[in-house]
Structure 1
Amino acid sequence: MRGINLLSLAMATSLLSVMPASATGSADSAATVDAKDKMVCKRTQRTGTRFYSQICKTAGQWEAMAEQQKRDAREMIDRPQVNIQRDK
């Protein structure tokens, strides 16, 4: 039991020594965040209920999803009509 406590103490100490280094690195990376990597959360109402759910995705994912929906809609509009002729 004592070995487990010493191991957890050693791991916690190593994490504390790493955290300040990563905190300064995250400030540099935050300045260079791409606009498409920014998280955007939207509220949507679930069908059949009055409650809302929150969906979070990156701006690039929202844009890709909108483009896919436009392509799907255009495909349905441009789909050739099928005429079924019945023999009389």
Structure 2
Amino acid sequence: MDICPWCEIEKLESVTDSVYWELPDGTRAIEITDTPSYYCDNCRALFQSDEVVKGIEDQLFLIDTRQLGNQTSYDELMKIKRLLKRNYFDF
């Protein structure tokens, strides 16, 4: 990602940060630490790429979320064994 989607400046910094995500069943939210993110120093926006967002959403949809605590790292989340190979509801 080269351009900030908010202010359209071409200077983004790759960082990791905590994000908070609601589980697909809506029962609670969890903190996902060390999530790959981008930071724009111009408008101070902190955001994740579409690919990271889709990866988190698919993973949370495909795992047994009851095994998650209130906090996990991005890498730990992505390593959890899936109940299905892929999200068959993503058309």
Give the TM-score normalised by the residue count of structure 1.
0.24
Give the TM-score normalised by the residue count of structure 2.
0.24
More strand by share: 2
Instruction: Considering Cα pairs closer than 8 Å and 6+ residues apart, tell me whether 1 or 2 has the greater RCO.
Output: 2
More helix by share: 1
Larger Rg: 1
